[in-house]
Amino acid sequence: MPKLKTKSAAKKRFRLTASGKVRANVAFKRHNLRKRPQKMKRQARGTFILSPHGEGLVKACLPYA
């Protein structure tokens, strides 16, 4: 069985928690922030846990995670 390649884009954008869930950064916080509500900007500071559907897609790109 050959080694599986990891998607470089996925390894830069996602991390796994200790329990195996996928953690990602929140989108829409790079520019044009004057249009965004203060509440959205505050909640977008940290990271968030992906849904089970998105988690499956990411784990397919990270075979050794």
- Tell me: the pLDDT tens digits for 5-15? 999 999 999 99
Kindly tell me if the per-residue pLDDT of 1 is higher than 90: no
CA-based R_g, the chain, Å: 15
Helix (H, G, I), strand (E, B) or coil at 55: helix
CATH number of 8-61, picked from 4.10.410.60, 3.30.420.270, 3.40.50.800, 3.40.50.300: 4.10.410.60
| Residue whose entry in the numeric block shows the structure tokens 């977008």 | 44
pTM of the model: 0.81
Q: How many CB atoms lie within 10 A of CB 58?
A: 19
**Encoded tokens for 12:** 């830069």
